[in-house]
């Protein structure tokens, strides 16, 4: 097996929960040293320059997969399934399938979980829309949101560009 080494200025990644934090670390092993087997060992603390990266949460991926099983079902205000859904009923149910309890309404969902900046949006994140967070969906990637959109529109994908983002949350 080939030995690997980290040099000065190398960026080491630490996965903490569902958020990837990056921090520049000093050399753990210099070229030619007799040491590293690739393990990062004890890293100490994360620097103040840490950043959230667009790494999907496992729960978000499971929730998106669950939500897609509801494709084509009708929208109904207050709908909790299984035959029809409203936007927040669908997201709550989908995350429950992933073992995560989230609040019932889109406004409550807008304040739960971890805040995520737009540049770190990842598949499985919940996005609330419009002032007042009156709509919610799950980011499906490729600029698409999976959601129960409204009367006459079956549950499915909507272009993210068609919806004004209020905020993004990760669970």
Residue 138: CATH number of its domain: 3.90.1720.10
User: Are residues 84 and 36 located together in one domain of the fold?
Assistant: no
Residues in contact with 2: Cβ distance below 8 Å, sequence separation at least 6, in sequence order: none
User: Are residues 1 and 85 located together in one domain of the fold?
Assistant: no
And the tokens for 75? 């929208």
**Which segments of the chain have a pLDDT < 50?**
1-50
Residues acting as catalytic residues? 87, 135, 147
Inter-residue contact 43 to 50 (CB < 8 Å): no
What's the CA gap between 70 and 97, in Å, rounded? 12
The pLDDT value recorded for residue 74 is 97
- pTM of full prediction above 0.85: no
Number of domains in the chain: 2
User: Are residues 24 and 45 located together in one domain of the fold?
Assistant: yes
The pLDDT value recorded for residue 54 is 81
**Residue 19: CB atoms within 10 Å:** 18
The pLDDT value recorded for residue 59 is 98
Domain extent, residue 20, equals 1-51
3-class secondary-structure state, position 129: strand
User: Are residues 99 and 19 located together in one domain of the fold?
Assistant: no
The pLDDT value recorded for residue 51 is 55
């Amino acid at each position: 097996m080939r030995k690997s080494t980290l040099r000065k200025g190398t960026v080491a990644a630490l996965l903490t929960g569902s958020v990837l934090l990056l921090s520049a670390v000093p050399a753990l092993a210099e070229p030619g040293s007799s040491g590293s087997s690739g393990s990062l060992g004890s890293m100490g603390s994360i620097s103040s320059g840490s950043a959230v990266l667009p790494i999907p949460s496992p729960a978000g991926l499971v929730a998106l997969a669950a939500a897609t099983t509801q494709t084509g079902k009708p929208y109904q205000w207050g709908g909790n399934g299984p035959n029809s859904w409203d936007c927040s009923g669908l997201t709550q149910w989908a995350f429950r399938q992933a073992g995560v309890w989230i609040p019932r309404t889109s406004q409550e969902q807008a304040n739960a979980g971890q805040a995520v900046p737009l540049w770190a949006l990842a598949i499985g994140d919940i996005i609330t829309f419009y002032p007042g967070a009156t709509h919610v969906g799950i980011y499906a990637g490729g600029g698409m949101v999976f959601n129960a959109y409204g009367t006459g529109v079956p549950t499915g994908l909507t272009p993210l560009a068609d919806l004004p983002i209020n905020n993004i949350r990760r669970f």
